[in-house]
Structure 1
């Protein structure tokens, strides 16, 4: 077995491979941006032989906007050179539009570095140019398809919501009439399924909107929780629900956004919907120690609970771990909490007795000044 060492590596051969066999274009220009050296891959990328590029001004190779961008980048680099010195500035990649010999335009990404004399003064620029036309085309197609998908999602969510609301209103009117109990049971089932359809449509819409919101702000979670509780009562008007907030502090703020309400609503709604007791009782405990960087929210129900296997897969997005309890709502919950940099876990309400109810524990980063 031959061992590679510094002595048996031919530096000139490596340089030859790098500059003549790799598709990226290696180039050198002087401080006036005149080409001094161009590697053979220029023929593949731009359609020009190296000597043709060396004989032409750089302006002939670049589109109008890219010409201005190159000159601006050079001026900024020289200004920063004077301010922070040669070791304090690293030039970011430039994306430029090049006009090929066949007049077609391509996008290239350019990385570059100053060549310096013995005194450290810039005397030229060496760099690499890579054709990124396919990548830019893929990015453009992705953006266009994303916009189109969001448009269709918005229309679908809006129309489905209107249809569901119309069905709900009709069912609620019919349920006010006298009828046989078996017919009433069927209508109640249809009413419940339609409400689930409304929630599913809303959750899909919220998931799409989640990607569009960028900044987190300081929010009072107590107010968000109270709003979510009102929404639960409104969404399940025929159920007797009692939700108690236990919060001794009341002054803590968290870093969140408008989706905090929907996160709380989904957890509370799931707890109430799955509870078969005549009276639904849910406790919400909000706490935080003086040294804790998180505000903790415990949503404690007395429903059917979750066995250990269901707990493990509750927030999984894998298709292999579907279950009727999770649904899209908890996918939305997990994505919102991840966005906040928070945590979520599920435990037994009474340790070791999973069928006596569940305890969802959510932690969200606190605003430090609110301690």
Structure 2
């Protein structure tokens, strides 16, 4: 076994040690009293870290190779160490130029020969750390100076241990001995696995053992029970005949480096996810599309597969389930509309903070029966306003890290802002549309009302003038009576016109509530009213239907629909006997059941030209055309509110003068 003094006498061994350690070592010299420096040598680790070759750097001027080195303050540190001889530690800094860029931490020492040594490490595998400088061949002085080599090895933070083939320690540097509160001399002769792991045999997967078998360098990262991470490397040492005579072990605590790398990676992941959430908000054409895409994205992040999105009603303090995925059908009924101020749900839904339940059965005993084991509820917030919650659930036990939970909170804030944006845009569009409709309706009603009321007033005025002329003529008493009847009829017509305008406004200003209506009861009332209103006319009204009772979705305004259609059939009819035949039957359209009602009359009919416009308010082409008042506008509006349809045809196809057929389609209900 070689002794320590023997090791120090071996220049080749020192060279081997420096060449194989994992820290970078670079040696500089100056020819102008410390103003400029050239690179004399760099070991394999340094060349690898900087991604250069010896040919590229040896003998080259540092400032020429790296113009930005002045800004990096490394050159100033070299000058100070060369001038004072005092070693310096340069904290982690970032060097960036067109050639190389990255983070590094450097230790600088002056050798007795006047040269300056820099020892440095790569700081992260995620942040590219190609650094420093250009190099030259190690000088003959380094090969001859055992003291200088020892200074370098003893200055390293990395543990350096030279072992025999059976893992007995021959030599160790100060850092290795300090790690076990000892001195290098006390480690000699002991097994490495005894010293650092208190074992009786080599550690499983040890890179030193592997390197002896593979006859080449082996490097591994090893986690120890104290949660530290070590970079352990084994480098075989060979004699002149290429026989392995020992092995160099280097060990470096890279826990901080790994922690830094992990934080950078997690931060990068978080930014990527948040950017995706924001991008989906910009790409989605509707709130529904955004909820669908963003929710799947969030489920993937945490590895859950079910849950839902709730919107908050600030008037009732209820959360309403607006979107859900893979939730058990029996579970939905219990959670689709919840009071977040009461009982269990006051614990699940917090307006201000995320709520995470690793085992939800602690709060709801039978939750696992519905596929709910672990769950997390994330508040959706837009600035200071709570807009709802994001609920994520797993049927299996899931543990979420603090970083994941922090990310979910950030996602909740972004989604809340985007949801609020969609809602604001929706309200703005609805407001604009309502204003536009109100403006058009006001203009429309003004024209129609003015037209019809003018006709009514003109008829009243004409009748009143004729009455005054005939008042003193006994022979015209019958005529005067007829004129009074006309006046009464016109007053009634005006009352009906005002009533229709009010009903149209009621329909457009309120939400229509539909119910189950039996149409024969309503239809018979309309027929009775028709006969009482036109007692002087001969009416023949028939109903043809296979059923005596038929139900549709409608409301009390259905009577106005029938009234208007029947009254128009009489008013616009010059026949001595007015015939109205009503056909009622079932019809199926697009897999939905309808009741089809056909009102056939023998009136004057409606030309194809007028068929297109009679249901459209204000579409009269001239004031001379015979108007139907607001009646059919009202009918169309009511039927549309039932999600039904109405149109007019010729009773005899191709000949409109034979009368009209008004067709009404209404949704059937049982």
TM-score (norm 1): 0.57
- SS of the residue 2:502 aligns to: helix
Of 173, 180, 189, which residue of structure 1 is paired with 2:486? 189
Partner of 1:276: 574
Worse-superposed segment, 331-340 or 288-297: 288-297
Deviation at 1:231, TM superposition (A): 1.6
Judged with a 3 Å threshold, the aligned counterparts in structure 2 of structure 1 residues 205 and 113 are, in CA distance, closer, same or farther, namely: same
Partner of 1:125: 409
Of 287, 296, 302, which residue of structure 1 is paired with 2:602? 302
Deviation at 1:227, TM superposition (A): 0.7
1:92-241 paired onto structure 2 within 5 Å:
122-123=405-406, 124-126=408-410, 127-128=413-414, 129=417, 179-180=476-477, 182-211=479-508, 212=510, 214-241=512-539
Aligned counterparts of 1:87 and 1:331: Cα–Cα separation in 2: 57
Judged with a 3 Å threshold, the aligned counterparts in structure 2 of structure 1 residues 87 and 362 are, in CA distance, closer, same or farther, namely: farther
Aligned counterparts of 1:89 and 1:231: Cα–Cα separation in 2: 64
Partner of 2:664: 362
Structure number with greater CO (CA < 8 Å, separation at least 6) is 1
RMSD (Å) for aligned C-alpha atoms: 5.3
Of 55, 59, 76, which residue of structure 1 is paired with 2:349? 76
Q: Cα deviation per residue 1:213-238 (whole Å; 9 max; x = unaligned)?
A: 64322211111100111122233343
Unmatched runs of 5 consecutive residues or more in structure 2: 1-270, 279-313, 320-339, 361-366, 393-398, 439-452, 468-473
Aligned counterparts of 2:387 and 2:349: Cα–Cα separation in 1: 16
Deviation at 1:94, TM superposition (A): 6.4
1:301-320 paired onto structure 2 within 5 Å:
301-317=601-617, 319=619
Of 287, 291, 314, which residue of structure 1 is paired with 2:585? 287
Unmatched runs of 5 consecutive residues or more in structure 1: 1-10, 19-64, 99-107, 147-159
Partner of 1:266: 564
Aligned counterparts of 2:523 and 2:597: Cα–Cα separation in 1: 10
Judged with a 3 Å threshold, the aligned counterparts in structure 2 of structure 1 residues 80 and 239 are, in CA distance, closer, same or farther, namely: farther
Kept in 1, the 8 Å contact 2:380–2:390? The answer is: no
Judged with a 3 Å threshold, the aligned counterparts in structure 2 of structure 1 residues 201 and 237 are, in CA distance, closer, same or farther, namely: farther
Judged with a 3 Å threshold, the aligned counterparts in structure 2 of structure 1 residues 109 and 203 are, in CA distance, closer, same or farther, namely: farther
- SS of the residue 1:201 aligns to: helix
The yes-or-no answer on 1:244 pairing with 2:542 is yes
- SS of the residue 1:125 aligns to: helix
Kept in 2, the 8 Å contact 1:91–1:112? The answer is: yes
Deviation at 1:364, TM superposition (A): 0.8
Aligned counterparts of 1:325 and 1:87: Cα–Cα separation in 2: 69
Worse-superposed segment, 315-324 or 256-265: 315-324
Partner of 2:630: 328
Judged with a 3 Å threshold, the aligned counterparts in structure 2 of structure 1 residues 74 and 200 are, in CA distance, closer, same or farther, namely: farther
Judged with a 3 Å threshold, the aligned counterparts in structure 2 of structure 1 residues 187 and 221 are, in CA distance, closer, same or farther, namely: same
TM-score (norm 2): 0.34
Partner of 2:20: none
| Structure with max Cα Rg | 2
Deviation at 1:359, TM superposition (A): 0.5
Q: Cα deviation per residue 1:128-155 (whole Å; 9 max; x = unaligned)?
A: 44696xx79x97xx99xx9xxxxxxxxx
Aligned counterparts of 1:92 and 1:210: Cα–Cα separation in 2: 38
Deviation at 1:347, TM superposition (A): 0.7
